[in-house]
Homo-oligomer: A and B are copies of this chain.
């Protein structure tokens, strides 16, 4: 009964198989191998973006921080949600890779930024004199840190506000696959067609050992897309994120995207989240303050139920972490339950059974 995070799950056997097959004799290092080229083509194909520049890195933090560093100056600020991973969970990696940019935090339910919130923040920073950090970029998280998704039209509206101020739009797509699978929209609709300039597409939480793609989309944003791509390569190397045996990472990304496997895996995780939510709702004692739109749920449960679950061996985090199991039985305490592609129906049902007592 592992619901701590999707990164506690195993890698998908298809990807492991691809990694094994990639271990076939010698190959040019640092991405000059045929598997990497194939994986880059695969990304471009899946996103209907034949001119996109595609690079691979091993962690979501590296992807986000390198991407933000590529599109902002050190004296700017990145507009993001208060609960964004880049703000809360990357130990300042964006600050490190941007050379000390700020993050301007925007509120919004379910960790979803609102147009009004973004507009207010943009207005507040409109002065932009020499004493102020300048406006740098918009960063959206899809799916959000509280399990919600943005509809493509939500993204488009926010991106339009950013573009009105000539700001590039970054998307932290650590769980982009889950959002995509949920909405049934095409990857292109979910990204560049909605105004995203650079997408960090994560596979590590959805079947890979470690593989993330940073995708710079063609468009009017990057005057010289090839120059931007080369700059990214230098930044990646300088950050220590250029793998010599890149083929093993590329093989994961390539297989993940092949034949829709990535959406199948994400769909399984989403389905388990739905099943879990339904079971808890059926029990009648859970309260859902956040929608279940991807693969995570954030229900408030009575403390007694948490105790039962812990005794039954369920693994998950209280949200926030520091809520105690000691205290009144009936007090409702919010927790986070994350499903991944390998979460089993049996585990979900066991959790529900323990919860509902």
Distance of A241 from chain B, by nearest CB (Å) = 7
Say whether A131 contacts B237, CB under 8 Å: yes
Is A19 interfacial (CB-CB < 8 Å)? yes
Distance of A201 from chain B, by nearest CB (Å) = 16
Q: Which of A138-146, A203-211, A265-273 contacts B (4 or more CB under 8 A)?
A: A203-211
Say whether A92 contacts B101, CB under 8 Å: yes
A27 to B91, CA, bound (A): 22
Say whether A244 contacts B4, CB under 8 Å: no
Say whether B28 contacts A130, CB under 8 Å: no
Say whether A5 contacts B29, CB under 8 Å: yes
Say whether B75 contacts A238, CB under 8 Å: yes
Most B Cβ at <10 Å: residue of A60, A245, A249: A245
Is A133 interfacial (CB-CB < 8 Å)? yes
Q: Which of B61, B234, B321 contacts A240 (CB 8 A)?
A: B61
Say whether B237 contacts A91, CB under 8 Å: yes
Instruction: Enumerate chain B residues within 8 angstroms of A62, measured Cβ to Cβ.
Output: 239-241
Instruction: Enumerate chain B residues within 8 angstroms of A58, measured Cβ to Cβ.
Output: 58, 210, 243
Looking at chain A's contact residues, the main secondary structure is loop
A296 to B127, CA, bound (A): 21
Closest B residue to A233 by beta carbon equals: B130
Is A11 interfacial (CB-CB < 8 Å)? yes
Is A8 interfacial (CB-CB < 8 Å)? yes
Instruction: Enumerate chain B residues within 8 angstroms of A116, measured Cβ to Cβ.
Output: none
Q: What number of copies of this chain does the assembly contain?
A: 4
Say whether B90 contacts A131, CB under 8 Å: yes
Is A46 interfacial (CB-CB < 8 Å)? no
Say whether A66 contacts B240, CB under 8 Å: yes
Most B Cβ at <10 Å: residue of A27, A88, A209, A249: A209
Say whether A11 contacts B245, CB under 8 Å: yes
Distance of A34 from chain B, by nearest CB (Å) = 13
Closest B residue to A248 by beta carbon equals: B209
Say whether B11 contacts A248, CB under 8 Å: yes
Closest B residue to A28 by beta carbon equals: B8
Q: Which of B96, B126, B234, B249 contacts A322 (CB 8 A)?
A: B126
Say whether A30 contacts B241, CB under 8 Å: no
Is A111 interfacial (CB-CB < 8 Å)? no
Distance of A49 from chain B, by nearest CB (Å) = 23
Give 30 CB contacts A-B under 8 Å: A7-B244, A11-B245, A13-B23, A23-B209, A30-B130, A30-B131, A59-B241, A59-B243, A60-B244, A61-B242, A62-B239, A65-B240, A66-B240, A74-B96, A89-B131, A91-B132, A91-B133, A91-B234, A92-B133, A92-B238, A93-B239, A95-B95, A95-B100, A99-B99, A102-B103, A130-B234, A134-B234, A204-B245, A210-B243, A210-B244
14 more CB-based (< 8 A) A-B contacts, given A16-B23, A92-B100, A130-B242: A8-B28, A10-B26, A61-B237, A74-B92, A75-B92, A90-B238, A93-B239, A95-B95, A95-B102, A96-B99, A204-B244, A210-B245, A210-B248, A239-B239
